[in-house]
Amino acid sequence: EACRALRRDWCCAYVDYRFENSIAAMAAVALKQVDGPIVPIGVSMGGIVALDIWRQAPERVAAMALFDTDPGADTVERRAKRDTQVKMAMRGNFLELIESQFITTYFFNTCTPKFPDQSLRSTVISMAIDHGAAAYSAQAQALATRPDSWPLLESINVPTLVACGAGDRICLPETHIRMASRLPLGVATFRSIAAAGHLAPLEQPEATGSVLRSWLESLASTK
């Protein structure tokens, strides 16, 4: 949806790297898909991939946007949890895993009786079915073995949007503020999206789209 809305004014490409099992391989797929200067835009794992695009080909990156992401390497505890989740998914309990462990943490204010609403729940389940347990397993491995990109931030010298849902409980807002502070002076733009959790583009598409579009327009105005 975001790509369709932005294509009126910008050349956009959606990169599908669902079966690559490393962040480096995902970034390489993205780099091969398009030519010339690029502006990587990533949500969650996509933001980690965007950082690896910078690691692999900084000369091609004109700017980047990182939504609801975490540049750090996986912790030992998180890797162990991923292993358990992958085993559950591959045993045939993939949808149970999505509903019981992910939907309940993805969104803002999940303690209210009507939350998450059926449309959000259906969207996440549809995405899970479309990708399947094998893709989930590959992506879990990629996240578990990802490099620590905190030191990389200090080398990024292009405009970088750092944005997150104000209620993100997976990649905390404090992490995004720290990311913005680690980028060189004048590079970062930090934005918080109200009433959104980890999947801000799904939960607050208009507000997220407005943040992204305004930032992109600011890039064009400085040329």
Q: What is the pLDDT of residues 124-182, one digit of tens each?
A: 999 999 999 999 999 999 999 999 999 999 999 999 999 999 999 999 999 999 999 99
What pLDDT sits at residue 112?
53
CA-to-CA dists, residue 219 to 2, 103, 214, 216, angstroms: 18, 35, 9, 5
Which residue stretches of the chain have pLDDT < 70?
A: 1-4, 110-116, 223
What pLDDT sits at residue 119?
85
Structure letter (DSSP) for residue 59? G
Closest to 71 in 3D by CA, of 186, 187, 172, 166 = 172
Structure letter (DSSP) for residue 72? S
What pLDDT sits at residue 5?
73
The answer to whether the Cα torsion of 55, 213, 211, 140 is positive or negative is negative
Regarding pTM above 0.85, the answer is yes
What pLDDT sits at residue 32?
96
Sheet holding 41-43, edge to edge: 41-43, 64-67, 160-165, 188-193
Cis peptide before 116 (omega within 30 of 0): yes
Long-range pairs for 11-20: beta carbons < 8 A, 24 or more residues apart: 17/49, 18/131, 18/135, 18/138, 18/139, 19/134, 19/135, 19/138, 20/138, 20/142
What pLDDT sits at residue 223?
60
What is the rounded CA–CA span in Å between residue 222 and residue 216? 10
Q: How many CA atoms lie within 13 A of 166 on its CB side?
A: 8
